Chain A
Amino acid sequence: MLQIFTWLADWLVYDLAGLSATSKAGDALHFFVEDVSKIFALLVVMIYVISLIRASLNVEKVRDFLAAHHPGAGLMMGSAFGAVTPFCSCSSIPVFLGFTSAGIPVGVTMAFLLTSPLINEVAILLLLSLLGWQFTLLYILVGMGVGIIGGFILHLLKAERWLQPFAAKAYERARNQSLSSAPAPDQALTFSERHAFAKDETRDIFGRVWKWVIIGVGLGAALHGYVPEHWVTDYLGEGQWWSVPAAVLAGIPLYSNATGVIPVIESLITKGLPVGTTLAFCMSTVAASFPEFILLKQVMRLKLLAIIFVMLLMAFTLVGWIFNFLSPYIL
């Protein structure tokens, strides 16, 4: 089905613009036209469909569910909910406080908050359409794994100790009561309400990401057409152990360009960038961002913030090394 975007690019670039398929410019332009048209079409259709399905799922329901379960199950569920619940990263502070003041342990809350940016609909869609389902599945499993293990470590460390005083107080208060807040009202949505939600979501997300798609695919196309194959394998290949931590560090400042990074990665993978290095770079770009971490300072003490940041960077590096090592056997 996705073949039509190749045909569209064939027709526009080779027939209409008259570029040769073997020239660098023709190759790069073809890559650009095919990926941009494919990503735009998929984003609009899939975000609408996904939003339609999950319109009735919200953070209030997740909070009530997690508050009622044991932390052990909570870690898994927290991470799973983080993967599927729609929520804007600008809401992470109120969500954190909402969970904490409902008596949910910090480890469980962080399993939710760590998984949420790693596994979001735009990243998944792009991975699926550009890199195939095997890589996407791997990405989802590793993303949830990072959320669950990260949350578990914070739970073992009793991370509640390092909350800001007002948040710690709210947590204690909730732990001493049986049920703190009234459960969220459970109203069934009509189809037209779902449609209205899905339309808003699609417009909002597309409006936010379309320019990054163009920038990302543009960079990817330039790499694809003009960077020689052996350059990537020579400098970023599997032999260089340091390329994984370097990819993780390079990913930190690239946060806002999450959408733009995946088309670049597609092009690097086809040039021979190892899978582990790619996963590590991708996750670091999507999840470890300084501006977001600074915001969390309102609710966490610096020590906890530093622990989480270092933990994430170490986790992504380990993921990179493990997959680089394993990739000859599994893919």
Chain B
Amino acid sequence: MKKVKVLGSGCAKCEKTAASIAEIAAEKSVEITLEKVTDAEQIMSYGVMRTPAVVIDDTLVHSGSIPHRDDIESWLN
């Protein structure tokens, strides 16, 4: 089970990022826990300056935009 966190202050792009990760995970029937992190202090602790950012199993894999489908698929594999 992968632990996925979407970092961002709840803007539209962060919502879309979380939604598309959930959708692709369901499609590929990969089990994940999805958490949205909106707290500024926690976001800072990952050293992220551009949101939305994606953290998988506590490693930062992406920041600054809605990730592409290919990227999401490669993270979930």
Task: Give chain B residues whose Cβ lies under 8 Å from the Cβ of A59.
Answer: 49-50
Task: Select which of B13, B14, B43, B64 is within 8 A of A97 by beta carbon.
Answer: B43
- A90 touching B49 by the CB < 8 A rule? no
Give the docked Cα–Cα distance between A59 and B14 (Å).
19
A64 to chain B, nearest CB (A): 11
Residues of chain B from 13 to 50 with CB closer than 8 A to chain A in the complex: 13-14, 40-41, 43-44, 47-50
Task: Give chain A residues whose Cβ lies under 8 Å from the Cβ of B51.
Answer: 88, 90-91, 94
Q: How large is the interface on A (under 10, 10 to 19, 20 to 34, 35 or more residues)?
A: 20 to 34
Task: Give chain B residues whose Cβ lies under 8 Å from the Cβ of A87.
Answer: 50
A249 at the interface (CB under 8 A from B): no
Task: Give chain A residues whose Cβ lies under 8 Å from the Cβ of B65.
Answer: 200
A67 to chain B, nearest CB (A): 13
Task: Select which of A58, A90, A98 is within 8 A of B44 by beta carbon.
Answer: A98
A146 at the interface (CB under 8 A from B): no
Task: Give chain A residues whose Cβ lies under 8 Å from the Cβ of B48.
Answer: 94, 98
Q: Which of A97, A295, A299 has the most CB of B within 10 A?
A: A97
- A90 touching B40 by the CB < 8 A rule? no
Task: Select which of A94, A170, A295, A299 is within 8 A of B49 by beta carbon.
Answer: A94
Q: Which residue of chain A has its CB nearest to the CB of B41?
A: A166
Task: Select which of A60, A90, A95, A166 is within 8 A of B11 by beta carbon.
Answer: A90
- B11 touching A94 by the CB < 8 A rule? no
- A101 touching B50 by the CB < 8 A rule? no
B16 to chain A, nearest CB (A): 11
Residues of chain A from 48 to 62 with CB closer than 8 A to chain B in the complex: 58-60
Task: Give chain B residues whose Cβ lies under 8 Å from the Cβ of A101.
Answer: 44
Give the docked Cα–Cα distance between A109 and B49 (Å).
13
Task: Give chain A residues whose Cβ lies under 8 Å from the Cβ of B11.
Answer: 88, 90
Q: Mark A65-93, 1 if CB is under 8 A from B, else 0.
A: 00000000000000000000001101101
Q: How large is the interface on B (under 10, 10 to 19, 20 to 34, 35 or more residues)?
A: 10 to 19
A210 to chain B, nearest CB (A): 16
Give the docked Cα–Cα distance between A93 and B38 (Å).
11
Task: Give chain A residues whose Cβ lies under 8 Å from the Cβ of B49.
Answer: 59-60, 63, 91, 94-95, 97-98
- B44 touching A97 by the CB < 8 A rule? yes
A134 to chain B, nearest CB (A): 35
Q: Mark B37-77, 1 if CB is under 8 A from A, else 0.
A: 00011011001111100000000000011000000000000
A270 at the interface (CB under 8 A from B): no
Q: Which residue of chain B has its CB nearest to the CB of A295?
A: B9
- B47 touching A98 by the CB < 8 A rule? yes
- A90 touching B8 by the CB < 8 A rule? yes
- B47 touching A181 by the CB < 8 A rule? yes
B67 to chain A, nearest CB (A): 11
A298 at the interface (CB under 8 A from B): yes
Q: Which residue of chain B has its CB nearest to the CB of A298?
A: B40
Given A200-B65, A295-B9, A91 contacting B50 (CB threshold 8 A): yes
Residues of chain A from 218 to 240 with CB closer than 8 A to chain B in the complex: none
Q: Which 5 pairs from chain A and chain B are nearest by CB?
A: A90-B11, A98-B49, A97-B44, A298-B40, A59-B49
| 14 A-B residue pairings within 8 Å (CB atoms) | A59-B49, A59-B50, A87-B50, A90-B12, A91-B49, A91-B50, A91-B51, A91-B64, A94-B40, A94-B49, A97-B49, A98-B44, A166-B41, A170-B44
Instruction: For the A-B complex with A58-B50, A95-B49, A97-B44 known, give 18 more contacts whose Cβ atoms are closer than 8 Å.
Output: A63-B49, A87-B50, A88-B11, A88-B13, A88-B50, A88-B51, A90-B13, A91-B49, A91-B64, A93-B43, A94-B44, A94-B48, A94-B51, A95-B50, A101-B44, A166-B44, A200-B65, A295-B9
